Structure 1
């Protein structure tokens, strides 16, 4: 983490522009936290949304969409959960036990990671008053703990406010992609960050989930960053009443 902050920022937010939030973009584990898992698992989807850090950086540096990016792994403290969620400090994930989280000081991790992340994010969004928030995630093509078909290349998640999602689904489908609508899980079940910082404030948002085999290389991430930026800009235009 940068100076013990559980987030990093790339780019400068402009008033009423588009911004990006990436809650699961890091696999960093502070040296004083022993999770008790094989190091190889830090490259696994249980620890990080693979590919999202590269896309968020490119959105900010090349496409003018500044980003608020997590700087700590979701298996240390899941920033995309409410403070009272059982999964905030997970003891298992996709069949893997995380011994170091059993009996962990959950309040301590909330104070150290969760609250600073969301306090800073809230202040950043209040100052920017964005016309659209892009919440960026990725999902694994398959789970170890259960069998299910995951054919979607990209998906849009939402809880009650689907204004932006409806436009984005149509625009991604127009690119010839297989697009999920509240898949592979529903935003009505898990939408913590956008519930708090978007829906509660009446701010339009689009939560994008990209399948991880689509964004493993830098070239793939560059392609998807350009595509996501285009869809976000056209969605923002549609929300303003323009034609896309």
Structure 2
């Protein structure tokens, strides 16, 4: 069963907020949590679990605000991206990262059997259940929600001025409507920035594009999405954006 207001699914790597509904909006947040299971030692300073390498800061808080509109629900990853990166193909080397933004993660130096066990425990249940949810409650529009750090430790010279990044792969229509909407709302918007959805779009490729479900890939700027006022502003904007795009696409919400 995939319904349930603010229902956490015990012992599985995801959380559902709100009630998913056919023809509604579904937020998907692959990197919403920084939790690490007690039986996994990543071998890093625990303070790093609060940093951007461990999760997409602000995603859960923004999602909780958006789903106050009952037409939205959210499906959020329940463990840190350092445990397994859900927005990768299963056997991508970065699915169980051994380094991130200059930080070595010695606890992820695993043998083939250990890698498969990690994937079976966290990666496959997340994607299997999301596939079931989309089949049972096919949304009209998916909001793929991530956040990005304003400056990488490994490349501090790179300027990242955007307040939103909009990402997409083959299915462009919804995102191409979202970009001018956000610009007209006064935001600095990166079209396929801070990186391209043509290169990193695994979850949406698997679940949205493969099933012809319209989606918008959003990257929020973390110095905004970490602040309560910024979270409230982002939530209002993104909810309005989803309604606008759905209207423009002729979707019934």
Alignment check: 8 A CA contact 1:63 1:229 kept: no
Partner of 1:225: 235
Task: Give yes or no for the alignment of 1:168 onto 2:178.
Answer: yes
Q: Deviations over 1:8-41 (max 9, x none)?
A: 0011112111111000000000000000100110
1:90 aligned onto 2:100: no
Whole-angstrom distance in 1 between the partners of 2:169 and 2:100:
23
Q: CA RMSD in A?
A: 1.4
Given the alignment, which residue of 15, 35, 50 partners 1:8? 15
Q: How does 1:45-64 map to 2 (within 5 A)?
A: 45-62=52-69, 64=71
Paired residue secondary structure (1:171)? helix
Counterpart CA distance in 2 for 1:167 and 1:62 is 21
Any gaps of 5 or more consecutive residues in structure 1? none
Q: Which residue of 2 aligns with 1:39?
A: 46
1:61 match: secondary structure: coil
Kindly report which structure 2 residues correspond to 1:172-191, keeping only aligned pairs within 5 A, or say none.
172-191=182-201
Show CA shifts across 1:137-177 (max 9, x none). Answer: 00000001112111111011001111100110010000111
Q: Which residue of 1 aligns with 2:3?
A: none
TM-score, with length taken from structure 2:
0.93
Distance 1:79 1:215 in 2: 21
Length-normalised TM-score, structure 1: 0.96
Matched, 1:121 2:121: no
Runs of 4+ in 1 over 4 A off after TM superposition: none
Instruction: Select between 214-223 and 126-135 the one with higher mean Cα deviation.
Output: 214-223
Q: 1:150 aligns with which of 146, 156, 160?
A: 160
* Deviation of the 1:218 alpha carbon: 1.9
Distance, in Å, in 2 between the alignment partners of 1:2 and 1:132 is 23
The SS at the match of 1:66 is strand
Deviations 1:73-99 (CA, angstroms, capped at 9, x unpaired): 000011111111110000000000001
> How many corresponding residue pairs?
242
Secondary structure of the equivalent of 1:54? helix
Please state if 1:30 is matched with 2:40. Answer: no
- 1:201 paired residue among 211, 230, 235: 211
2:4 corresponds to: none
